[in-house]
Amino acid sequence: MLGHGTFAKVYHSRNLHSGKSVAMKVIGKEKVIKVGMMDQIQREISVMKMVKHPNIVELHEVMASKSKIYIAMELVRGGELFSKVARGRLREDAARVYFQQLISAIDFCHSRGVYHRDLKPENLLLDEEGNLKVTDFGLSAFSEHLKQDGLLHTTCGTPAYVAPEVIGKKGYDGARADLWSCGVILYVLLAGFLPFQDDNLVAMYRKIYRGDFKCPPWFSSESRRLVTKLLDPNPASRITISKVMESSWFRKSIPKTVRSKEEIEFDAFNCEEDESKSEKSKETLNAFHIISLSEGFDLSPLFEEKKKMEKEELRFATTRPASSVISRLEEVGKAGKFSVKKSETKVKLQGQASGRKGKLGIQAEIFAVTQSFFVVEVKKDNGDTLEYNQFCSKELRPALKDILWTSAAAAVVDHSTVA
């Protein structure tokens, strides 16, 4: 057993087939139903299925028996961030790394319409490499929970970390409320104590309402400025997550001695054709390949749920030469500030800026159906699916519009040849 609460126990468990260790949360159904918390458990499971991110504890599997619910999650061995802070304040560069990872995870949640609503150091775990992992989505809310005024109305969270508008019970923006909590966490990391403290809860709430706190003298001017903007009691003027990520303090980074996985893979990508392949023997598609590429024959929905908006690949046909397609993809990539590698039938684009799941990587490959008809397959290689889909819809599709195969060009293809 790793720990236990009122309704659940968490065990260190092992997959008998793969040998992989997981944290198994075992929840007693009867207790949960008795206190009316089944909706909260279902919500936590739904959220964790949606938010797959390097800085969020991963949900592997959910099982159930008549009396128990079993949630297999990523085993995070480094303990709570709280235990580090309990020993005293952190160095500014160490606090920055944790804060960057926290903001990356919360920005990703918000992009999926998920608001955590109980952010505090006790809900931030550390893995063996010291990376932060957000956990405990039991009090989270979806954008579907917004009332007609577009706000959330449930008062929840931990008093010392909760935003003033949440206490006010007049409705609040989940994203801005989460950012207030992030501001309290940043203050705690840098100071070693809470910004708002009082033995009397009502007195503490008054301080939170007024934004009544002071930064210790050891705070740098940049960190002081950011904390003040985060702990603005007025949610309308509080700094947004995009502005946090643009701030000078946030953008400072510790020098990296090791390149990212995406950069290594991009450099290792060999676009050059195999010398043994002649021009005539380059990969072509037969009828079976074409059928398998057709959405009408795609059987994957029978085996897995995948939202249309979360597709990680697209295909299109063209009668333009492969060299024209490669050139166009290269143009689109460079316009979008991607690094580009190419060959006669492949292109790889590597984003330079880090997104919600690292740097976006896109790979395109051209297959010949006939000498004058090609199918182009574009896939997300790494990074965030939502960012990939946005790039495809806003940048890639419009740029390729004039080279797509249309019904007017249908005569170019001899269907008997394809069949």
Does 243 count as an annotated binding residue?
Answer: no
Q: Please say if 118 is a catalytic residue.
A: yes
Contacts for 184 with CB less than 8 Å, ≥ 6 apart: 120, 160, 161, 194, 195, 196, 231
Q: What number of other Cβ atoms are within 10 A of residue 158's Cβ?
A: 15
Catalytic residue of the set 39, 93, 107, 118: 118
- Token reading at 68: 């128990």
Q: Which amino acid is at 346?
A: K
Phi, psi of 206 (to 5 degrees): -65, -40
343 burial level (CB within 10 Å; 0-12, 13-18, 19+): middle
Instruction: Give yes or no for a contact between 211 and 148, defined as CB atoms under 8 angstroms apart.
Output: no
Give the active site residues: 118
Q: Which residue numbers belong to the known binding site for ATP?
A: 29
Q: Which residue numbers belong to the known binding site?
A: 29
